Copies of this chain bind each other. A is one copy, B any other.
Amino acid sequence: MTDLARVRDVLRTQRIETASWAYANSGTRFKVFGQEAVPRDPYEKIADAATVHRFTGVAPTVALHIPWDKVADYADLARHARELGAELGTINSNVFQDNDYMLGSVTNPDPAIRAKATSHLLECVDIMDLTGSRDLKLWFSDGTNYPGQDDVRRRQDRLADSLAEVYARLGDGQRMLLEYKLFEPAFYMTDVPDWGTAYLHCVALGEKAKVVIDTGHHAPGTNIEFIVAQLLRADKLGGFDFNSRFYADDDLMVGAADPFQLFRIMHEIVLADAVGPASGIAYMLDQCHNIEPKIPAVIRSVMNVQEATAKALLVDHDALRAAQDAGDVLGANEALMDAYHTDVRPLLRDFREDLGLDPEPLEAYRRSGYFDKIKAERVGGEQAGWGA
* B-binding residues in A (CB < 8 A): 26-31, 33-34, 96-97, 99, 101-103, 109-110, 141, 145-153, 156-157, 182-185, 187-190, 193-197, 199-200, 203, 218-223, 225-227, 229-230, 232-234, 245-248, 250, 252-253, 256-260, 264, 267-268, 271-272, 290-293, 296-297, 300, 307, 320-321, 324-327, 329-330, 332-337, 340-343, 345, 386
Chain B contacts for A183, CB-based, 8 A: 221, 246-248, 250
Q: Which 5 A-B pairs have the closest CB atoms?
A: A196-B196, A148-B336, A219-B219, A220-B220, A28-B185
Contact, CB under 8 Å: B292 / A329: yes
B151 touches A291 (CB 8 A): no
Give Cα A386–Cα B227 distance, bound, in whole angstroms: 32
Q: Does B110 contact A327, Cβ atoms closer than 8 Å?
A: yes
CA distance A110 to B324 in the complex (A): 10
- Whether the pair A324, B184 counts as a contact (CB closer than 8 A) is no
Contact of A151 among B29, B188, B297, B321 (CB under 8 A): B321
Q: Which residues does chain B contribute within 8 Å of A327, judged by CB atoms?
A: 103, 109-110
Say whether A145 contacts B329, CB under 8 Å.
Answer: yes
Contact (Cβ within 8 A) B271 A151? yes
**Which residues does chain B contribute within 8 Å of A296, judged by CB atoms?**
330
B260 lies within 8 A of A300 (CB): no
Q: Which residues in B have their C-beta under 8 angstroms from that of A320?
A: 148
Whole-angstrom distance from the CB of A371 to the nearest CB of chain B?
13
In the complex, are the beta carbons of A31 and B96 less than 8 A apart?
yes
Contact between chains at B194 and A148 (CB < 8 Å): no
Q: Which of A33, A189, A199, A329 lies at the interface centre, i.e. has the most chain B CB atoms within 10 A of its CB?
A: A329
